A and B are shown apart, each in its own frame.
Chain A
Amino acid sequence: MDDGKSTLVGRLLHDSRAILADTLESVTRTSAERGFGGEPGAIDFALLTDGLRAEREQGITIDVAYRYFTTGRRSFILADCPGHVQYTRNMVTGSATADAVVVLVDVRSGVLEQTRRHLAVVQLLRVPHVIVAVNKIDLVAYDRAAFEAVAADVAALARDLGLPDVHVVPVSALAGDNVVERSANTPWYDGPALLELLEELATIDELETDLEALRLPVQLVIRPQGGLSPEVTDAAADAFRDHRAFAGRIESGTVRVGDAVEVFPAGVQTTVTGIRRGPEALDAASAPLSVALELADPVDAARGAVIAAAGSLPAPRRELDADVFQLDGRPLETGARVLVKHGTTTVQAIVTDIRGRLDLDTLETTPTSALATNDIGLVRLKLAADLAALPYAAHRRAGAFLVIHPQDGATLAAGIVVEAPA
């Protein structure tokens, strides 16, 4: 079911002048060789993003493709994700960190089961903005009523799902209507073109104002006894003799020299005495910088520890209730022994209960004993060690985890904490 995603992406890149001449020339040549329809010089835009042989042969997108483009106003990373049901895992991959998701709907077929699936995933992952591009509007002669019927169905579905910010735009990816520029063919539509909309939406970082408390999972301890970089000057080498710093990426908030912090799981408080970003010493640093912190006391903080603003650490969890997206082909069953990767910690876990599976037609949870590929289910996990997890709704990174097969290492499922019983 090709709703024209790759064509839309190609059109977006082309019309925002992000395709360079040699790429365009090569795609034009291949389009002609394959007898792509339309006028001479017509371009099959899907060839721009369907980078794999099998994708070009079948005319479908198998895996996420990342594209980069910039307008005068903003830089974009664009993840072109497959919509086919069997590749839901790639759609989850593309959406997990997205600021905005664009879902395509063919104006002739309207809202389908896979549209519901996409939007349900987007709602669970709490992608801040959703744009539904109602595509192929040229094929219904730019008919206002056809667009409005689909828009009404989208609005009803958004209400059912509780999606907060949904925009609906009539487009033709093939003809370029309302993709980069507003189209004269849709005088009845007074909203922005797709790209104008994307340029204006607030990013996650701009929205997540309630996450200001510092949180830094420790990746590794830098303790260079006997192994200083030759680039460190002799004068500085003395100062680094007893250097011990905790390296990691700031997940949220700001840290300043002199701040009181708390360390998980030791539960002790100490003070930040230094912040470093490579050779550069800083007074303060904010998310999402990667830094190394020096602390006043010789606290026990190895990889897996979390350094957080004093008083802001959650209670340690030995059990998680979570929505999981089943990605692997093997079913996830009650009693399964798995690994849970959360931040910089990996712990053993047991699936103690599968509480149900989300039915995407009714949006209700129905009982089940196993989750199959592409299922979204509610599970309870018992953990072999404490985690500093928070509900995903309160903190995306502290609420997200992977479920991993303990033997072969495959990623079985993606999980988000829905509540964490004490």
Chain B
Amino acid sequence: MSENLITADAAASVSRTSSLDALDVLEAEAIHVIREVAAEFERPVLLFSGGKDSVVVLHLATKAFWPGKVPFPVLHVDTGHNFPEVLRFRDETVGRLGIRLEVASVQDYLDDGRLQERADGTRNPLQTQPLLDAIAAGRHDAVFGGARRDEDKARAKERIISLRDEFGQWDPRNQRPELWSLYNGRHTVGQHVRAFPISNWTELDVWRYIEREGIALPPLYFAHERDVYERDGMWLAVSDVSAPREGERVERRTVRYRTVGDLSCTGAVVSEAATVSDIVREVAASTLTERGATRADDRLSEAAMEDRKKDGYF
């Protein structure tokens, strides 16, 4: 009797939903968000660091407007402490897609005295001012970012479309409610929005999508040999801007990076994962979070990310 209760419509519905997997649904949502922002804002820009999340957002944008060009430029906040492999990848990517690259340079601000180097040497908190100036100079009213809610407990609170005041500040107590898939991006002069199309993706979703779509990444995501030294349980690279302190021993290790940030504060993980499918397996089995394993700046305090976001960091 129960079999007779399954109508043809119900059967069609079940097969319909099961033929789409979680990545299809995440991709559809992200493209929807990208198109909404492109349609409703005058001058969007995409924050592009060459890291895997912004690479995925850019890839989604190429799909959203195909066969047309991506209708907005990309912006890189260059701290001056970037991995050279990442800068090469950044330039190749924008060249291939024929899109304009805007660069906000922290080094320029340090050179002319608008910013001062911090005692701890990290430049991550210094990115905020050049970022906000670049947004104002480009008159950008919408800024895409690759932030994901699973990265950090403060990011878990972020809306997909998030309003920022003229100081770029995020006010977590006063966010617009976000209902259904109706994104309210109305803003007044001086305000802008941050748009996070892959808010609902996890690190593993990102890697599975990179695998499925065959998306190119900077080589440092894959296992390679590098001179590193251990600090606070992280493997930091020897470079022009990062050197071992007394008692820290340099070793040649096979490592890869889970996130791409500054050379000075982004740790490598010891790994033999040389292909995307190796990485998918490794991430699925990992017992450490992406940022916990690799980001020194998030360890500054329990609310490091929240504090940076309130200041206008993305």
Contacts and interface: CB of A to CB of B under 8 A. Distances in A.
A68 to B, nearest CB: 5
Contacts, number: 204
A207 to B, nearest CB: 8
B215 to A, nearest CB: 12
Nearest to B213: A278
Contact of A66 (B97, B179, B200): B200
Given A229-B67, A287-B16, A327-B177, 9 more contacts: A22-B293, A63-B173, A66-B149, A67-B150, A92-B177, A92-B179, A220-B39, A229-B97, A344-B36
Interface in B53-83: 62-71
Interface in B171-212: 172-173, 175-182, 184, 186-188, 199-200, 202
B157 A51 contact: yes
27 contacts: A20-B288, A22-B288, A51-B152, A52-B306, A63-B175, A65-B153, A66-B156, A67-B149, A67-B150, A90-B177, A97-B180, A203-B17, A220-B39, A222-B67, A227-B69, A228-B68, A229-B66, A230-B97, A232-B67, A247-B64, A247-B65, A248-B35, A249-B181, A288-B25, A327-B177, A341-B184, A411-B176
Given A219-B35, A229-B62, A303-B39, A51 B153 contact: yes
Contacts of B152: 51
Interface bracket on B? 35 or more
**DSSP majority for the A interface?**
mixed
B246 interface: no
B9 to A, nearest CB: 4
Contacts of B2: none
Contacts of A397: 180-181
Interface in A30-79: 30, 48-54, 56, 62-68, 75, 77
B292 A53 contact: no
Interface string A275-287: 0111100000011
B35 A290 contact: yes
Interface in A203-223: 203, 205-206, 208-210, 212, 219-220, 222-223
The interface centre, meaning the residue of A30, A402, A404 with most chain B CB atoms within 10 A of its CB, is A402
B31 A205 contact: no
Q: Which 3 A-B pairs have the closest CB atoms?
A: A409-B186, A51-B153, A278-B63
Contacts of A404: 184, 186
B4 interface: no
Interface in A280-303: 286-290, 292, 303
Interface string A395-411: 01100111011011111
B28 A290 contact: yes
A144 interface: no
A53 B303 contact: yes
The interface centre, meaning the residue of B62, B150, B178 with most chain A CB atoms within 10 A of its CB, is B178
A230 B94 CA distance: 11
